[in-house]
Amino acid sequence: MIESVQQTATPLLSIRDLFMRFEKRRSLSDTLAGRPRQVVSALNGVNLDVMPAETLGIVGESGCGKSTLARCIAGLNWPTSGDIRFEGESVIDLKGARRRGYNKRVQMMFQDPYTSLNPRMTVRDTLREAITVHRMREGAGIDRRVDELLDLVRLPDGAADKYPHEFSGGQRQRIGIARALSLEPTCLVADELVSALDVSVQAQVVNLLLELQDNLGLTVLFVAHDLRLVRHVSHRVAVIYLGAIVEVGPSEALFSKPMHPYSQALLAAAPSLDPTARRRAPALSGELPSPLDIPPGCPFHIRCPHAAELCRRAKPALRPVGNGMAACHFAEAIGGA
């Protein structure tokens, strides 16, 4: 279904050559010695299209840039270079009312239910603030909307006048979802929405998200490290390594037949529920190189079991392979396409 959409529809979000660099502060001794400032390259040329009403899963190891990407899209980080287009219009240089207009349509939900809500504001205050700042409703309409939102995320009656500490982790995430929905966004960015929750509660929040998405026609960027969950909720999945997309494709295809050696290793490392599928050797040796010092050529060649001379020299571009795209010189041979 999504493939056919892809060819006809224009993407809702289109990200081109996105770079995000954070400069480290120089220590006194470094300044005196004249050593250059160290730069953390969190994003290294991300190219990604997000289709309307799809769920795009984003996976990768910690430090690979998946949260930075989410924050750039939500307008919380200012990319160093590159372009983000929303419905065909660049949002990088938006100012004033048009900036607020974009911010309203792309809403973020955060990982930690304990720190992302103001402990001194009741749920009603939290939701009212969002609604009044963006002038979504007036007068008595505000409180009606608050009740409507709480109903939408299935919080019990009377929840509106309670404080965050009176709720469980799962309920707090529902409040976070209600806050995001209060601005009637087109696109939700969920950064590790359920990672902090107990397994038995995760399913409740995921079910709610799926249902809301279908009812409201939302586009969802689902950033998470739980691969099983990403596979379940996503139409398409993007795998990030060291700030660049190494593979993107339809969820089922990517999980059943990953093309990039990194995707293969990541999937193999995730614990399976099948006790007979045990391995003695780890799926991937070594660790993620520091984003202060990204290796030349293919960024994965240091850990890659298939690395050849070419990989050390030339950085592979993201190109169509099989059902999706992969950034590997030998994707066809390795993925068995």
Partner 1 sequence: MNQLEKETVLDVRRLRTEFGLAERPLVAVDGVSFQVKAGEILGLVGESGSGKSITLRSILGIVRPRGRVLGEIFWKGRDLVPLDEGALRRVRGREIAMIFQEPMSSLNPLLTVGLQISENLAAHTDLDGKARKARAIELLDMVGIPAARNRLGDYPHEFSGGMRQRVMIAIALASNPQLLLADEPTTALDVTIQDQILRLIQALSRDLGMAVILVTHDMGVVAETCDRVAVMYGGRLCETGPTADVIGDARHPYSLGLLRSIPRDVPPRTPLYSIPGAPPSLNALPAGCAFTARCPVAGPECRDVRPGLAATGQLRQVACHHREEALAHFSVREAAQ
Chain residues binding partner 1 by CB under 8 A are 55, 61-62, 168, 170-171, 198-204, 206-207, 210-211, 225, 227-229, 231-235, 251-252, 265-266, 269-285, 287-288
Answer yes or no: are the C-beta atoms of 116 and 177 closer than 8 Å.
Answer: no
The set of residues, in sequence order, having a beta carbon less than 8 Å from that of 322 and lying 6+ positions away, is 249, 253, 257, 259, 331, 335, 337
Give the nearer residue to partner 1 in terms of CB position, either 29 or 120.
Answer: 29
Q: How far apart are CA 178 and CA 161, in angstroms?
A: 15
Give the nearer residue to partner 1 in terms of CB position, either 142 or 210.
Answer: 210
Query: What is the number of residues in the chain?
Result: 337
Q: How far apart are CA 78 and CA 27, in angstroms?
A: 25
Least Cβ distance, residue 298 to partner 1 (angstroms): 17
Least Cβ distance, residue 152 to partner 1 (angstroms): 16
Answer yes or no: are the C-beta atoms of 230 and 224 closer than 8 Å.
Answer: yes
Q: What 8-state DSSP symbol labels residue 292?
A: T
Report angle CA 204, 210, 212 to the nearest 5 degrees: 100
Least Cβ distance, residue 204 to partner 1 (angstroms): 4
Least Cβ distance, residue 285 to partner 1 (angstroms): 7
Least Cβ distance, residue 62 to partner 1 (angstroms): 5
Give the nearer residue to partner 1 in terms of CB position, either 37 or 228.
Answer: 228
Least Cβ distance, residue 205 to partner 1 (angstroms): 9
Give the nearer residue to partner 1 in terms of CB position, either 71 or 231.
Answer: 231
Least Cβ distance, residue 278 to partner 1 (angstroms): 6
Give the nearer residue to partner 1 in terms of CB position, either 20 or 229.
Answer: 229
3-state SS track over 173-199: HHHHHHHHHCCCCCEEEEECCCCCCCH
Give the nearer residue to partner 1 in terms of CB position, either 231 or 329.
Answer: 231
Give the nearer residue to partner 1 in terms of CB position, either 62 or 88.
Answer: 62
Q: Which residues of 9-41 are buried (b: 16+ CB within 10 A; e: fewer)?
A: eebbbbbeebbbeeeeeeeeeeeeeeeeeeebb
DSSP-derived 3-state class of residue 133: helix
